[in-house]
Amino acid sequence: MSEADQGGGSIGPLDIAKVMAALPHRYPMLLVDRVEELVPDRSIAAIKAVTINEGFFQGHFPGRPIMPGVLIVEALAQAAGVLAVESLGLSGSGKLVYFMAIDDAKFRKPVEPGVLLRLEVEFVQKRSSVCKFAGKALIDGQVAAQANFTAMIADPPKA
């Protein structure tokens, strides 16, 4: 068994197909393009390529396109979802990771088209179905946004 299989090492990169296997999100709500590194039960570093083609830039703001803060936090939460699903061996299981709480969100610099937004998230606490995370979104090593958040792992709602 490799060190990664034992939870001691990192895995990655994970391409978009593996990200989509871990998350139910699809365009236009899929905000994780690639996972650079994932250390099971610890942390994840993922990438969101921010492009001018994003629909929200049409109205936020004309003449000064800035990624909405709520979508930056959503991208962090999706990276946390990949971390949780991969750490718990739930990829492809249909389980969903639901946002429960957001705390201490801070926005330090605008996120504009043309950047690679690095999403760094780590487990703060992990229980059977509820996990707490701390996340940072960075541009060229500088913090653009940060937040602490809680999520619940559950079955999807009945149709």
Neighbours of 156 (CB within 10 A): 10
Q: How many residues does the chain have?
A: 159
25 is catalytic: no
Residue in 25, 34, 42, 60 annotated catalytic: 60
Instruction: Return phi, psi of residue 116, to 5°.
Output: -100, 110
Secondary structure of 119-135 in the HEC alphabet? EEEEEEEECCCEEEEEE
Close Cβ partners of 34 (under 8 Å, ≥ 6 residues apart): 13, 14, 15, 16, 19, 46, 47
Catalytic residues: 60
